[in-house]
Amino acid sequence: MRNFVALLCIVVFMGLNSVEAQENYYVLLTGGQLHVFPQAHLSQCSHDDASITMVALDGSCYTYSMSRVASFSQQEPRTLPSMESFKIDNKYNYQVVTDAYGVIDGSLVNVEVAGIGKRLTSSFSLSDSDAVAWVDGRVQHSTVSRQRFQDDVTYTVGYPGDKVLVDNGDGSYSMEPYGRDYRVHVHFLTDDATTVPRIDINTVDGRMISSKDYYVDAEIIIDGAGVFPSMRDSVQVKGHGNSSWSTDSMSKNPYRLKFSTKQKPLGLTKGKNWVLLANKMRGSMLTNAIGMKAASLMGTSNVNHIIPVELYINGEYRGSYNLTEKVGMHNNSIDLDDETRAVLLDLDRYFDDPESQKYASPLFYLPVVVKYPDFGSDETLVTLDMVKQRFNELEQCVYHRGSIDRYFDMDALARYKVLNEYIFNRELLWPKSAYLYNVNLLEDTSKFIFGPVWDLDYAFNPDNLISYFYADVNDDYYQSVVNKSGWRFFSALNENRQLGRRSYKIFKEFVEQGLDELCEFCRDYYSYAAPSIAHNSQLWTSHYYNYGNQANLASQWLRNRANAFCQMLAVAYAVPGDIDGDGALTINDVTVIIDYLLDRDGTGLDLDAADVDDDGAVNIHDVTTLISLLLGSR
């Protein structure tokens, strides 16, 4: 073997005639890893009885002990794995409405995507289960890893540990993952669009929709404008909303759509009930889209989709709207296998539902509206008295600062709460449009889940109604609205340290993994919706706003707010090892976790805080880490 290496190096420097033979040197290690050295990047290849040495043009040296080398040659010792399939699955991509399948042609992958936003999660398969894919040196996980595809993205498919010497372009060289390269080109249909989808609603009698109380029969025609699917069907339409609704039928009103059977307008999940949001407030054309995108990245429950559309009623242009799902117990909103035991509540100050569907809570005086079931028509095992009893128990616990994890899905609550705090959605503090549901009210262990997020006209805006994204990023959310029932309720929740610590962990992960995408989305969404927004301002001249400037401002504000808010949470909750939630690291924290591990007392233990070493499990290693932290703090 040693003689072979010596001969090979001599032959190399004499210069072989074969270009292929001179191209690469392959060092296969006994552990199975393959290291590749292009000749063009080397200044020296040498060996002695003990080792092989490669010296890059920048002087960096790579030495291999002969005991580690299985083979050394200029012929690739094994076949590289390949990419077998590539897909953009709408299940893993918010705002992508239909699955997009890549066409693999040699080393090029072409895929056509209908959706808003250019960060995508790919689903791919490789020819070997042991193979991996990298992008820019980072391992990619199918259905998990996200990339921005505004420009072509190169996936390298190879085996773990395989590396190649590469020129970094600045005079330096480094070892990077080695494999077969695939250049993925995503064609975004929104880039070709000259306008957003058009929705025509033609009422049977030719009159405008003038009431929220009754439906009008109509025909609906949807032109997807080359991006989304088109459709034509019959539909029922009525007014929608509270403060956004006007009795003037010629105002820019929001509407509710109801199909007789489940439909997929613009390719969204099938459902009967939909809403056309008017974005009526000056400066609000981007708020719902950006807010819902933030909700999706934060992982809140049952996030709505927002698609900009041009609305025409009886042939007359009515402005730029958003098509979105109607919040409710529907398969395109909250999808349950059995709804007969479920309840959907809305904490809402308008409180204008029938008496049989609402009540005021006794401690915080919350306006509790039962949105589902409709006790007069829905098949249900739930009664209003059951709702009162369960919600009052929950309220008692919050009011007296008890163990709220008995009543709430803590993860869903933390995601919902920290999102609204981050985007400054003041609706909660009144409260308005604060939804929560329980999948089985008849079961004591079934917990309430906060969500879906809804109505973000008052988000990003603590000062006045036209100053979106101008507020001081250091402002205290809980001082933006005070002494309202929602403020009292959510302020009490805010005192729970277990919830606070989980919120901090969730938000920190969002800042690290989702913030860039949210900031990019502001511009991506505006770029697509811009023609419709400009058209809208021609009809509703008083609504004019410089949305191009706002998209840039939003991106900057969201980043600055995220950094400031994350620091606030860190100061309040980032006390490593604080298991008992008293804000300090003490011997009692050690006792609490030991009791839990010995099954003596695990009641109310904050598992997020107890996982001190962040390995995803609570075990003896957390105890030893905790003791080390405790000793180090003294």
Residue of 337, 565, 387 lying closest to 473 (CA atoms) = 565
What Cα–Cα distance (Å) separates residue 234 from each residue in 231, 325, 484? Answer: 10, 18, 43
**Nearest-10 crossing angle of helices 485-494, 410-422:** 120
The pLDDT of residue 14 is 37
Beta strand pairing call for 24-29 and 69-73? antiparallel
- What confidence tier does 2 reach under pLDDT thresholds 50, 70, 90? very low
Those residues with Cβ within 8 angstroms of residue 562's Cβ, 6 or more apart along the chain or in another chain: 422, 507, 510, 511, 515
How many residues are listed for the chain in this entry?
634
pLDDT at residue 389 tops 90: yes
The reported pLDDT for the residue numbered 4 is: 43
pLDDT at 634: 52
Report which DSSP code applies to 362: T
Match 């302020």 to its residue by tokens.
491
**pLDDT value at 121 more than 60:** yes
- Domain 2-73 - what CATH class? mainly beta
What Rg, from alpha-carbon coordinates, does the chain have?
Answer: 30
Write down the pTM of the prediction: 0.88
Give the pLDDT confidence score for residue 581 in this predicted structure: 65
pLDDT value of position 48: 84
CB 285 within 8 A of CB 279: yes
pLDDT at 364 over 70: yes
Give pLDDT, residue 608.
Answer: 73
pLDDT digits (tens, 9 = 90+) for 316-362: 999 999 999 999 999 999 999 999 999 999 999 999 889 999 999 99
Q: Are 127 and 81 in contact (CB under 8 A)?
A: yes
Residue pair 190/227 in contact by the 8 Å Cβ criterion: yes
Q: Got the DSSP string for 462-517?
A: SS-TT-TT-S-TT--GGGSS-SSHHHHHHHHHHT-HHHHHHHHHHHHHHHHHTHHH
Q: Kindly list the strands in the beta sheet with 153-158, ordered across the sheet, starting from the edge strand earlier in the chain.
A: 103-105, 108-113, 180-188, 153-158, 132-135, 138-140
Q: Considering the chain, what percentage of its residues have pLDDT values greater than 70?
A: 94
Q: What is the mean pLDDT of residues 134-139?
A: 96
Tokens of 160: 């773990």
pLDDT, position 8: 44
Which range among 67-81, 499-513, 607-621 shows the weakest confidence by mean pLDDT? 607-621
Res 71 pLDDT > 90: yes
pLDDT score recorded for residue 633: 61
Q: What is the mean pLDDT of the chain?
A: 92
**Helices and strands (DSSP H and E) totals, the chain:** 13, 31
What phi, psi does 503 have (nearest 5°)? Answer: -60, -45
pLDDT given for residue 1 in this prediction = 43
Between 613 and 433, the more confident residue is 433
Q: What single letter denotes the amino acid at residue 121?
A: T
Lowest mean pLDDT segment, chosen from 262-266, 404-408, 605-609: 605-609
pLDDT average, residue stretch 527-546: 95
Question: Mean pLDDT throughout 584-603?
Answer: 76
Angle, helices 515-539/287-298, rounded to nearest 10 degrees: 160
What is the C-alpha to C-alpha distance for residues 73 and 25, in angstroms, rounded to an integer? 6
**199 and 228 in contact (C-beta within 8 Å)?**
no
Q: Report which of residues 474 and 610 the model is more confident about.
A: 474
Checking if the pLDDT of 15 tops 50, the result is no
Longest dimension (CA), the chain: 95
Q: What is the spatial distance between Cα 518 and Cα 491, in angstroms, rounded to a whole number? A: 27
Dump the DSSP string for 103-167: EEETTEEEEEE-BS-SEEE-EEEESSTT-EEEETTEEE-TTT-EEE-SS-EEEEEE-TT-EEEEE
CA trace torsion 588, 593, 598, 600 (10° rounding): 60
pLDDT of 464 reads 60
At 247-286, the pLDDT tens digits run 888 999 999 999 999 999 999 999 999 999 999 999 999 9
User: Into which CATH architecture does domain 83-192 fall?
Assistant: Sandwich (2.60)
Residue carrying structure tokens 């505006």: 526
**What pLDDT, on the 0 to 100 scale, is given for residue 16?**
34
Q: What is the DSSP letter of 374?
A: -
Q: How confident is the model at residue 524 (pLDDT cuts 50, 70, 90)?
A: very high
Tell me the pLDDT band of 588, cut-offs 50, 70 and 90: confident
Q: Are strands 153-158 and 180-188 parallel, antiparallel or unpaired?
A: antiparallel
